[in-house]
Structure 1
Amino acid sequence: MSKLVINPLNRKSKINREIYGQFSEHLGRCIYEGLYVGEDSPIPNVNGMRTDVVEALKAIKIPVLRWPGGCFADEYHWKDGIGPKENRKKMINTHWGGVVEDNSFGTHEFMELCRQLGCKAYINGNLGSGSVQEMSEWVEYLTFDGLSPMTELRKENGREEPWEVAYFGVGNENWGCGGHMTPEHYANEYRRYETYCRNYHQDKQLYKIACGPNEDDYNWTQTVMKICTENVPANEKRLNGLSLHYYTTTNGFGDKGSATEFTPDQYYTVLSRGLKIEELIRRHSDIMNQYDPNKEIGLIVDEWGTWYDVEPGTNPGFLYQQNTMRDALVASTSLDIFHKHSDRVKMANIAQMVNVLQAMILTEGEKMILTPTYHVFKMYSAHQDCTLIDSFLETEEIGTDAAKVPNLHESASIAEDGTINLSVSNLSASEAYEVQSILVETKVSDVSAMILTQETAAHNTFEDPDHVCAKPFTDFKVTEKGIDFTIPACSVVQFAIR
């Protein structure tokens, strides 16, 4: 029996709700068909946004949405996506699938989507192929209410009041698709561009995010942090966040493997690679601590998740993949890790929200299914804005010769009303485990729980949309010290303990 010790008396950092952020890019069927079908579509919609998708996303309490990319961000020119739709420029989406982008979903549509979702907006500006003036004018168009050409242009396009934009990214993956820059060059460009992304409201200042490293590029973090923080007056905040991108694949980007057909070796390899994000966060945080010891600059994991070969018969540039219990476990363990590093990780945005990579939702015409990852996000939403509390879980190493992982994984938080939220995942493909939990100086009076469990490759289809879904969990016993329970193989359990 594994022992789990939870100490509600040892309260740590706040788990920002933005850790549950989402990402939508002009890629495949994420926006078009997934989120936006147009006002004239027979699919039920409000101002062009799919009603079923919006309602499903609201149910998991989406806190923030990143747009328009991704690689697409650094070839996106925002003025192409405003004004009457019939007058908007058409272009080829050279990054993703070579399809025509008609710009019918632009700034106004994105802000309308955020309004319907009730979430904050995270906009990524074009540093790679754009200009300082273009980025500056976009911020002005979005957020300024004074006398200016951009304010007048926004009003001409039907929006009288400025919007509230919480987060603004200055470029994306500028070490790669965003310009193949050196860290020195990017850092100096960031300083220049950021200067003109003005805060037009003292009480609603932009949270400005610099392009951070790709995976384990620690030199990038070192260089950007040094250049972007040196010679900056103490009373000025020119850098609020640094991004980190990390994708989990089966065998690297050359052979990403199938989303639904995999061996035990491949199952444990993906889980092991997913857990690597903790080492990346820790090591990048150590570097950030040298320049920001008070942890005022957030580490923003704004692209993360699993990446496999596309589903057979689909456009390779659309990155459409299925989503199994294996992905649910990558999601649950990643969220646990973000919780445990929430003193530095202030936001994360899984890639991507609909129909692309590790999606919450898949659509096919008027049909919609929720993925196992969606159910993890819904279960884990209880942790949003709660306080991380100390927890320790005895584990054993399991897996195959190809990859080893701990058999169990957990995180715990406490809400303002005293409710303890406990998440436990069983990574074993075949073995159930007994767990004895001890809650320090806490008398348990009430417990409720949900479970997500199935075989490792189980997934939902349009023919069987509820094959994998969360259900009530009752296989636990309240004791004088806490709760004892048996957690089935390949499962995620979420407790609410009062």
Structure 2
Amino acid sequence: MTHSVDVSDKENSKTIISKYLQGQFSEHLGSGVYGGLWVGTDSDIPNTNGIRNDVVTALKKIDIPVLRWPGGFFADNYHWYEGIGPFEKRRRIINSSWGGKLETNAFGTHEYFELCRQLGCESYININFSSGSIKEMADWLEYMTAPAGSMADLRSKSGHPEPWNLHFLGIGNESWGGGGHMTPEFYSDRYKLWQSFVRQYNDKPFYKIGVGPNIDDFHWTDTVMKNAYEYMDGLSLHHYGLTDIWDNKGDAVEFQPKEWNSLLYSIQKMDYFITEHVKRMHRYDQNNRVKLIVDEWGDWLRAQAGTNPNFLRQQNTIRDAVMAATTLNIFAKHADSVYMANIAQMVNVLQSMILTKGSQMILTPTYYIFDMYKHHQDAQLLSAYSDNGDPLNYTISKKNNHYIISICNTNYEQSQNISIKFANKLGTPDYAKQLHADALNAHNTFDDPDNVKLKPFKDYSISMNNLKVNLADKSVITLAIPIIGDEL
């Protein structure tokens, strides 16, 4: 069967695929920060100001636009003043959020912004809305962004005279659950109070993000939007892909074909959740000013055997790559309403880009999806499609006089053909990559780090303004094709 797509009449689309849809998330959880990102200045692992060089070099290649920190669940136990000043004077605590691990607070505000500087990305701080206070939040914002004053003096004494640029601000995390078990009425009233003390110290206003629903809790969205939408810029949504129920997560590597299908079904629910929550958001925000922020998403599977289950370390296969591409295509489909998304998580936790073991590092199949999809960042959306009954989903965009085409074949047994018609004559692709593997559970290991990686893609043909592509089973491709001449 050949799938046909015609985008020739969509050249005037005004929808932009926000670069922030490819955001990342790093929480103080397992080795997500310590060992994965931060090794300390006295480590034998090559580092710059305590942050490991190999991980930063790899992450810079995928053009990370924004990094959410310090949580997540951990954010509501985090007190920023314990993580500044000389390392030897910082308070050591037990990370009661995730497995009782000793938290040294060696990685704090200064280290986070140094990481963002090295990555060349923007910052997204999630403040402590549960065990913290309004004053603690206000002091932290002043510490980070004020050019002068007592908090700025303290920041300067701690080694950074100039204020940092902070744009994205999350006020709470999963307040319906572990972040406080609040009702939407209570949360929205409290949110309005707290956001009133978000002081502005520069010309760039904070992008304030309120806590959104627990997957399909439409009452939460309806209530929070009704009571507080005027005071926020974004509303968060969290959804993780599961192979079964929450308490019976499937294995990340040793799985049966039916678990491929069940995970895909779970992942594709993202389309439904976005549609239904946005519908309710628009009841109150008819101008579509408040955007949906999917700041936690990805596959949540059983922790890797032999590791602390509370550290959420899991392997990453070609299946995860297909799920990531499918999700990014869903985000593109809703690019007029979804402004930012942050996969969980960047290193060593859940569906990560990178796995580390001591001084070793490997790239996961999901890393390569982000490497391909970075070409869509801030591109003009022409078409995006994802449907439960169709094995193909895709994103087609236009950027820098190129058509960017990313297509995912979710079928693990059969190849698929697709024909795409454009408005303009097509040149020869100057980027054509494929991610594919023969085995359902193909993955990279420290002994075989290149088992799954990007390879040149050649199974396509171009005739004038028509592109035909044959996709192998369980594969993802991206093409960047120059636009030649005027519309045909």
When normalised by structure 1's length, the TM-score is: 0.94
Whether contact under 8 Å (2:295, 2:340) holds in the other structure is yes
Report what 1:329 is aligned to: 322
Superposition deviation, residue 391 in structure 1: 5.6
Q: Counterpart of 1:485 in structure 2: which amino acid?
A: V
Report what 1:442 is aligned to: 424
User: Could you list the per-position Cα deviations for residues 464-494 of structure 1 after superposition, in whole angstroms to 9, with x for gaps in the alignment?
Assistant: 0000001110111112341112110000010
Q: Distance in 2 between matches of 1:270 and 1:218?
A: 23
Whether contact under 8 Å (2:292, 2:339) holds in the other structure is yes
Report what 2:270 is aligned to: 277
Q: Distance in 1 between matches of 2:209 and 2:317?
A: 32
Match runs of 1:443-458 below 5 Å: 443-447=425-429, 448-454=431-437, 455-458=439-442
Report what 2:228 is aligned to: 228
Report which structure shows greater RCO (CA 8 Å, sep ≥6).
Answer: 1
Report what 2:290 is aligned to: 297
Q: Distance in 2 between matches of 1:360 and 1:117?
A: 14
Q: Counterpart of 2:7 in structure 1: which amino acid?
A: I
Given the alignment, which residue of 358, 362, 365 partners 1:365? 358
Superposition deviation, residue 456 in structure 1: 2.1
Q: Distance in 2 between matches of 1:320 and 1:113?
A: 22
Whether contact under 8 Å (1:423, 1:495) holds in the other structure is yes
Report what 1:399 is aligned to: none
Q: Distance in 2 between matches of 1:338 and 1:390?
A: 12
Q: Distance in 1 between matches of 2:40 and 2:390?
A: 46
Whether contact under 8 Å (2:415, 2:471) holds in the other structure is yes
Given the alignment, which residue of 424, 441, 445 partners 2:407? 424
What SS does structure 1 have at the residue aligned with 2:15?
A: strand
Report what 1:155 is aligned to: 156
Q: Distance in 1 between matches of 2:291 and 2:46?
A: 39
Q: Counterpart of 1:449 in structure 2: which amino acid?
A: A
Whether contact under 8 Å (1:67, 1:122) holds in the other structure is yes
Match runs of 1:17-36 below 5 Å: 17-36=19-38
Q: Distance in 1 between matches of 2:115 and 2:383?
A: 37
Superposition deviation, residue 405 in structure 1: 4.4
Report what 1:492 is aligned to: 476
Superposition deviation, residue 140 in structure 1: 0.6
User: Could you list the per-position Cα deviations for residues 255-294 of structure 1 after superposition, in whole angstroms to 9, with x for gaps in the alignment?
Assistant: 1110011111111110111011000001000011111111
When normalised by structure 2's length, the TM-score is: 0.96
Q: Counterpart of 1:324 in structure 2: which amino acid?
A: T
Report what 1:376 is aligned to: 369
Q: Distance in 1 between matches of 2:420 and 2:398?
A: 16
Superposition deviation, residue 6 in structure 1: 2.3
Identity of aligned residues (%): 48
User: Could you list the per-position Cα deviations for residues 56-105 of structure 1 after superposition, in whole angstroms to 9, with x for gaps in the alignment?
Assistant: 00000000000000000001011010111101111111111111101000
Superposition deviation, residue 436 in structure 1: 2.0
Q: Counterpart of 2:267 in structure 1: which amino acid?
A: G
Q: Distance in 1 between matches of 2:255 and 2:390?
A: 20
Q: Distance in 2 between matches of 1:484 and 1:10?
A: 23
Q: Distance in 2 between matches of 1:150 and 1:9?
A: 50
Whether contact under 8 Å (2:95, 2:102) holds in the other structure is yes
Superposition deviation, residue 453 in structure 1: 0.3
Whether contact under 8 Å (2:214, 2:238) holds in the other structure is yes
Report what 2:485 is aligned to: none
User: Could you list the per-position Cα deviations for residues 30-61 of structure 1 after superposition, in whole angstroms to 9, with x for gaps in the alignment?
Assistant: 00000000000000000000100001000000
Report what 2:214 is aligned to: 214
Match runs of 1:2-151 below 5 Å: 2-7=3-8, 8-147=10-149, 149-151=150-152
Q: Distance in 2 between matches of 1:6 and 1:459?
A: 35
Q: Distance in 1 between matches of 2:416 and 2:235?
A: 39
Given the alignment, which residue of 305, 313, 320 partners 2:306? 313
Given the alignment, which residue of 384, 395, 417 partners 1:411? 395
What SS does structure 2 have at the residue aligned with 1:11?
A: coil
Q: Distance in 2 between matches of 1:449 and 1:61?
A: 18
Q: Which moved more, 1:364-373 or 1:6-15?
A: 6-15
Whether contact under 8 Å (2:330, 2:384) holds in the other structure is no
Q: Gaps spanning 5+ residues in structure 2: where?
A: 483-488
Q: Which stretches of structure 1, 4 residues or longer, exceed 3 Å deviation after superposition?
A: 390-393
Report what 1:390 is aligned to: 383
Report what 1:400 is aligned to: none
Q: Counterpart of 2:424 in structure 1: which amino acid?
A: T
User: Could you list the per-position Cα deviations for residues 385-434 of structure 1 after superposition, in whole angstroms to 9, with x for gaps in the alignment?
Assistant: 101113679x8xxxxxxxx642111111111x221111111111111122
Report what 1:170 is aligned to: 171
Q: Distance in 2 between matches of 1:319 and 1:179?
A: 22
Given the alignment, which residue of 281, 287, 295 partners 1:288? 281
- 1:476 pairs with 2:477: no
Q: Counterpart of 2:223 in structure 1: which amino acid?
A: T
Q: Counterpart of 1:110 in structure 2: which amino acid?
A: Y
